[in-house]
Structure 1
């Protein structure tokens, strides 16, 4: 159904925001044989280009960074203090293993005040990030030989298969990196209507920074965000809170906290999914945002943009879980969407997207 071994390597390769060197090198090795040209811009975004038949640009953004930490202080006993890179729920950190990426990698353990020593009023409070430290099991003299302020830290968790799902740290957003790679693999020997810019972006978790700069450079006509979304289909959740559910197909984003997707793109993705019998579900996410916002707004003329989202349980926690069939459906939907873009009527006047056959020159303007 999917190449789990490749997904495992992608998820387990480190790359905190601003420190994406290792995952970037992995992506470059995988994507270069699949496309016509590969570039790395000044920020570190990987731009994989597949040439199309007509002079329009399609940008697909999947961020390669994962939430992580950065070393801010090493105390006299060798314990490391840190700051977050991306959003964390502090209650998920206690006693978790991490990897400190100094001059070489070290396994560390997140620690905090033991519950036995807490005052009664402290036990019911959530500890702030500032109360946590990392223990490398070494004295300060050994730690400072290899670790310095500014070194990055990522979580230590392997990917496993669990039932119909895959379970790992950093499924956000390494599953989208996997989907984009597999889509470009599927399109390798196909003719596509427009130039495809598959962009593996940096620093999404700290403000969509890579997507903003790459969209400004590419100036796409069409844009696809590719990221995870919340699946809250768990005990205690009300049906209206689910956002999405595992196993019910690719999620087609309608809106999130930063983007109202273009209604034409939403309709196009729904029609494409139905035409190819690809299961899908609508996504309305009340808060949060993805690279879709950067793709939509930061080109010189804006882009007709939408997003394919992968339902995910336990987002931004120690482990995250996605359904293997959902991942497959996202690959299939993105592949068909990219290869059939010219078959849709993208004019504002068209409400439902009906179009018999595109004109030979596809000459309508987007300004």
Structure 2
């Protein structure tokens, strides 16, 4: 697997880092993915046979094969990121928020946020409603605040906040995307890095051997909802979810708990808590990776799931696999992925779909 792979991947793979930067920095919480969708639509128009938005908000791009008896392959990468909705405005103008997606509140201290208000974005700061370090006791400083204790400060009067912010306005964390050479870091790389891979794939794929139905799905972070309706509508023969996974190869983590390794190649998921990959499909991708010299690793994820869980259980059942990009610091604003792993995923998908 990883140790025996040689870097003989397709040299034609070129990464459009500007597109990845835009996808990382744009805001799109579950149910409000329209800005992400617009970026992807602009990147794909003229490169696919059809491009449509369904009733739930999924963006579905299709490239058809001219081969007889071509199988219908559904690929799914989700557009949404974990974030918040405004649930209350207090008398001083501070916003209380409700989370959409799973947060570790230890990563939310002193974060800049964007409130996506109807008349224009507002920038604020997110902090817990606790005493500053100068005034708190040692015991108080040990306590990790609950999400309900956090508030957004827009630096505006209560009257102005109430005039510009409505209950239900989405809120996203702010963080610039940074290219560090071998790796990139930023917010929402779960799963914008795979939206990027899928867009790159569609732009580069020529004469596919399968009918390719690429779904940029919505509301994955709150229950795989977009993939559920898309899989039902498309009736694929094969499903491939594209997502990130844990690379816990950082200080303080034991080797047996790392799940995957950053830079070790694309991860072929064996199982997670939402799906167990179809064995013959997993074996086919592993054999193809070895044949083409694409670095890969196998992944067993103890907790978490991908769109594969929804695709696999659609209608009479679908043969399904997840291709994962290892990511450090998942569900933070400093998620980190390696370009080598991105290139490996793109090369393997092209090898499988080009035939």
Q: TM-score range by the shorter chain?
A: over 0.9
The residue number in structure 1 matching 2:58 is 45
Aligned to 1:3: 16
Tell me what 1:336 maps to.
351
Provide the secondary structure at the position in 1 that maps to 2:45. Answer: helix
Deviates more, 1:47-56 or 1:86-95: 47-56
Higher relative contact order structure (alpha carbons within 8 Å, sequence separation ≥ 6): 2
State TM-score, norm by structure 2: 0.93
CA contact (8 A) 1:15 1:65 kept: yes
Shift of 1:163: 4.1
Whole-Å separation in 2 of the counterparts to 1:293 and 1:202: 14
Residue deviations 1:165-217, cap 9 Å, x none?
10101110000000000111110xx2222211000000000000000011011
Q: How does 1:274-285 map to 2 (within 5 A)?
A: 274-285=290-301
Decide which of 323, 327, 330 is 1:315's aligned counterpart.
Answer: 330
Given candidates 98, 109, 124, the residue that maps to 2:125 is 109
SS of match in other structure, 1:253: strand
Report how far residue 55 of structure 1 moved. 4.7
Question: What is the Cα-based RMSD across aligned positions, in Å?
Answer: 1.1
Q: Superposed, which structure 2 residues align to 1:245-324 within 5 Å?
A: 245-298=261-314, 300-324=315-339
Q: Does the alignment pair 1:137 with 2:139?
A: no
Question: What is the Cα deviation at residue 334 of structure 1?
Answer: 1.2
Structure 2: stretches of 5+ with no match in the other structure: 1-13
CA distance in 2, matches of 1:185, 1:62: 16
Superposition deviation, residue 26 in structure 1: 1.1
Correspondence 1:80 to 2:98: no
Normalised to the residue count of structure 1, the TM-score between the two structures is 0.90
Whole-Å separation in 1 of the counterparts to 2:48 and 2:181: 34
2-structure distance, mates of 1:290, 1:122: 37
> Do the aligned residues in 2 keep the contact of 1:219 with 1:301 (CA within 8 Å)?
no
Q: CA deviation at 1:236?
A: 1.9
Q: Select 2:179's aligned residue among 154, 158, 161.
A: 161
Which residue in the other structure is 2:223 paired with?
A: 207
SS in 1 for 2:71: strand
Judge conservation of contact 1:297–1:303 (CA < 8 Å) in 2: yes
